[in-house]
Amino acid sequence: MDQVISLPQIAAMHIHDSHPVVHVLLVVVYTLTTLAVVIFLVQFYRYKVRKNHSDFANYPLNSKRFRIMLLMVGLWFIFMLLQTWYVTYFNIGTSENQSAIEQLLRDTPIWTWVDAVLVAPVIEELIFRGLFFEFFFTKNSRLVRTIGVVVNGALFGGLHDLGASFPIYAIMGMLLAITYLWTKDIKYSITLHIINNFISFL
């Protein structure tokens, strides 16, 4: 889904006409497409939550969720250190997903930053965490949720990279799934996802 939103960026890479009107039109297309996709996903997600009588909702940041977020951020940094070791030890090159992002970043830096750091986390969390757990593994039991986290991570990893970087994306997906299931609120996994993507651009 996020690839659809990136189409204006990809188009910009191949348009050599520097006329301002072209760039304005691309910005308009990008903005309208992004808004349409996000609004649709949010409304569909809310519909599924109501229909399934799920306990996922818009919960305030209380002490429990604050501790969960601190724990997940801590685990995330440990994961990033292990990721660095894994890539270095096994001499793994840049993943196809990362290479595509880096190419877009060179051609359309501002759009790519907005897309990868802000837009992608929202859309991917609504799909991979929000809607995923409304369609699958809906039973609120520890075993079912655990299996759901593993499957969710594998799906997330597989759709990002089927090569040597698969474990990295899979673990990333599992951490985001755990955050979503523990907080019962999609905005916390979105926040963690944004933090990860932002750090990746530093």
User: Residue 4: its pLDDT value, please?
Assistant: 46
What pLDDT is recorded for position 87?
81
Tokens representing 64 are: 């429990």
Condensed to tens digits (0 to 9), the pLDDT of residues 123-150 reads 999 999 999 999 999 988 999 999 999 9
Query: Model's pTM, two decimal places?
Result: 0.84
C-alpha to C-alpha distance for 155 and 85, rounded to whole angstroms: 23
Widest pairwise Cα distance in the chain: 57
Token pair for residue 39?
Answer: 């609004």
Which pLDDT score is estimated for 100?
Answer: 65
Tokens (6 digits) for 31: 């903005």
Predicted local distance difference test score (pLDDT) of residue 110 = 78
Give the pLDDT means over successive 10-residue stretches in the chain (202 positions): 52 58 76 92 96 92 94 92 84 66 68 86 96 94 96 94 87 96 97 92 76
Give CA–CA dist 165/187, Å, rounded. 26
User: Dihedral through CA 70, CA 72, CA 73, CA 74, nearest 10?
Assistant: 80
